[in-house]
Amino acid sequence: MRWGWVVVGVVCVALGLVALLQLRAVQTQIVEAFQPAFPDWPEPRVQLADGDEGEIFFASHSPFDFQVLLAGQKGRPTTGQGWLTLPEGAEGPVPAMILLPGSGGIKPGREHDYAAFLNQHGMAAFVVEYYAPRGLADESNYLFRTGSVTEFDLITDAFGALQLLSTHPRIDANRIGLMGFSYGGMAARLALDDRFRRALAPEHPGFAAHIDVYGPCFQVLGTRETNGAPLLTLRGTEDASNDLEACATRERELRDIGVSVQAVVYEGAGHAWENDAPRRMIEGAPYVEGCEWRYDASGVPYVDGERLVDYGLEASREERIASRLTSGLRVSHCVKTGYLVGRDEAVRERAFEDALSFLNESLRAPAGETRGAEAQRQ
């Protein structure tokens, strides 16, 4: 394991040095040499039966960038992985939630605890693992993992899971929501943009509800249309990784196009309040502040008016990863470090109840009563 960290450290140093020389071809070759292969897993399921629970493989893709999806492409075929749990004794199709972890992966006290909580209240839950399907392990270097798997990969996994769960006899296909934490929370909120549904699941009405739990708010997609599903956001006043002013702006933008947004901010709360790890300040944890990633109509991001990526649509995944891993040099003025992370029992309990209240309102009633006219036209 120590040797693995040394190798990753050498890779990052090498990429940084090469970035100074702007030798993208060499950067890409380094990524190709050290990027793990996608695993050879069982064929993904295309239909679920009444008794199906536990680990489930589903069909997904790895687009990496928004521009890939907007161009009508999906990227590399990928076998997604997740864990399905169903409420005991439930009669008839039940609502379900798909859960996207944070950038640190599935954490004790969070994703599976939420799944159990939802099961207790009559809902199915599907916890997605998005690193392992792309060859990355828990012990992989954090920056290498987040540089290799993007929010657009997460969104693609979410829609892949949505389509498969919709075939389960015990799940109501019209009452499946999406919930994410941190990195996954950002993805859950961005997934409101109906361009994702049209690109990834055009025959499905889409998610019936979205919950963003402390997801960063620096991405501006230019969303103009959703399927009418509501959004709940949960944040803390002491979480530096969430710029509350930027988050309020993103929420206002969604309200302006007709999305019902409930925003809850917990006084004194930090980041990842569900995690079993004790609450503490992590000094080196990076986050974005004071900048916005604004996407043009083709899905290319710009920061301060300058194009963030220096490749075209034809770029390989490895070339895109190399660019992402070295982009820190271009946006260093946007990156700060240090925020409060860890267990806060009081906030955890309140967040569980706030999520439940929102879902009882959003998922319990017939879908047509809680979603906008666009959803009813599907």
In whole angstroms, give the CA distance from residue 290 to residue 10. Answer: 31
Q: CA angle 22-23-29, nearest 5°? A: 140
Q: Where residue 91 falls among pLDDT bands split at 50, 70, 90?
A: confident
Q: Is 228 left (phi over 0), alpha (psi -120 to 50) or beta?
A: left
Q: Judge whether 376 and 302 are in contact, CB under 8 Å.
A: no
More confident residue, 26 or 250: 250
Determine the straight-line distance between the first and last CA of the chain, rounded to whole angstroms. 50
For residue 229, what are the domain limits? 2-376
Does the pLDDT of residue 305 top 60, yes or no?
Answer: yes
Which residues neighbour 193 within 8 Å (Cβ) at sequence distance 6 or greater?
Answer: 221, 223, 225, 226
In whole angstroms, give the CA distance from residue 212 to residue 158. Answer: 14
Mean of pLDDT values over 284-303:
96
Does the pLDDT of residue 2 top 80, yes or no?
Answer: no
Q: Is 250 left (phi over 0), alpha (psi -120 to 50) or beta?
A: alpha
pLDDT tens track for 116-127: 999 999 999 999
Residue 308 identity (one-letter amino acid):
L
pLDDT tens track for 317-369: 999 999 998 888 789 999 999 999 999 999 999 999 999 999 999 997 564 44
The pLDDT score that the predictor gives to residue 309 is 92
Does the pLDDT of residue 5 top 50, yes or no?
Answer: no
The pLDDT score that the predictor gives to residue 326 is 87
CATH classification of the domain holding 22: 3.40.50.1820
Partners of 130 in the β-ladder: none
Which residues neighbour 377 within 8 Å (Cβ) at sequence distance 6 or greater?
Answer: none
Does the pLDDT of residue 190 top 70, yes or no?
Answer: yes
The residue behind tokens 């992966």 is 105
The pLDDT score that the predictor gives to residue 350 is 98
The residue behind tokens 């392990």 is 137
In whole angstroms, give the CA distance from residue 133 to residue 129. Answer: 7
Q: Where residue 12 falls among pLDDT bands split at 50, 70, 90?
A: low
Does the pLDDT of residue 209 top 80, yes or no?
Answer: yes
Half-sphere exposure of 285 (CA within 13 A, CB side): 18
Partners of 266 in the β-ladder: 236
Q: Judge whether 245 and 263 are in contact, CB under 8 Å.
A: no
- Mean pLDDT, the chain, integer: 92
Q: CA angle 154-160-161, nearest 5°? A: 90
Count how many domains the chain has: 1
- The two structure tokens encoding residue 282: 């992590």
Q: Which residues of 294-312 are buried (b: 16+ CB within 10 A; e: fewer)?
A: bbeeebbbebeeeebbebe
